[in-house]
Amino acid sequence: MRDSVYVWLMGGLGNQLFQYNYAAFLQHNGYRVKIVDNLIRETWFTKVINWNIHEYPDISFLSQSFEVVKFNSIIPFIAKARLRPDFATYHGVANIPEVPSLHNFGYFQNKDFLLNKHISLKEFPHSRDDIVCHLRLSDSEKISQTIIFLEENLKHFTSSVDTFTVFTDSPFEAERVMKNLGIINYKFENLPVVDCFLRMISCRLFIGSDSTLSLWASLFRLDDQLTLLPSSVLPD
């Protein structure tokens, strides 16, 4: 067994799954991996750096298990990171280092690395004969791609059902989108993020957004389940 290394969680569940995926990759390569949760908890430090995404989902649905730790004080960590370049590294979106630093930050969204994913479901959720649409509409950089995709696909695939389910982070914006598309046979459901995620995996037809959560749901779905995603969702 190699030395212990740390992978820091950042962002919501979709981004965290990339970080867990990298942690599982390191475990497979013999490292003793610990997950650090400081940045997904609301603390004085996250307030100071204006870090406002605090999502702490239960990831017991994964087959892999990890030791989760929290540093009581982050000040000594910052001091060491400034003095020792090998102490902590922020890895870019496409950079998947096989030899990690002691502390590792990043999103690890490399396409080849993602398609050969290292995390798996503990068990597949009970299949449901329904349609689920995930509308991630709060990311201004990606919303235009999602809207174009919905205009091309949503009404065609949902017009034959009485009702389909919409999970969204922006109900007001989602309602406006549906109105512009002339779609009325939908219902919003407000569930914890993990429950939403498992519903995305288990439904008969999943229509996703340009979103990391939609992407991970599609990767865990079975080959015979119909999945529609914007082409822009897959990283380069």
**What's the CA dihedral at 171, 174, 178, 181 to 10 degrees?**
170
For domain 131-233, give the CATH number.
3.40.50
For 4, left (φ over 0), alpha (ψ -120 to 50), or beta?
A: beta
Across 21-25, average pLDDT: 95
Q: Three-class SS of residue 153?
A: helix
CA-to-CA separations, 40 to 37, 93, 201, 216, in angstroms, rounded: 6, 19, 24, 19
List the single range of 10-24, 134-148, 211-225 with lowest mean pLDDT. 134-148
Quote the pLDDT of residue 5. 93
Q: Report helix, strand or coil for 226.
A: strand
H or E segment to which residue 67 belongs: strand 67-69
pLDDT digits (tens, 9 = 90+) for 196-210: 999 999 999 999 998
Cβ neighbours of residue 217 closer than 8 Å, sequence gap 6 or more = 134, 197, 200, 201, 206, 208
Task: List the alpha helices (DSSP H) in the chain.
Answer: 13-28, 44-48, 75-83, 111-115, 143-158, 171-181, 193-202, 212-220
Q: Rounded to the nearest 5°, which phi and psi values hold at 167? A: -105, 130
Kindly list the distances between the CA atom of residue 64 and the CA atoms of 27, 119, 130, 223, in Å, as whole numbers in the listed order: 10, 7, 29, 22
- Average pLDDT rounded to a whole number, residues 20-44: 90
Looking at the chain, the domain(s) classified CATH 3.40.50 span 131-233
φ/ψ (deg, to 5) at 121 = -80, 140
Q: Is the predicted pLDDT of residue 81 greater than 90, yes or no?
A: no
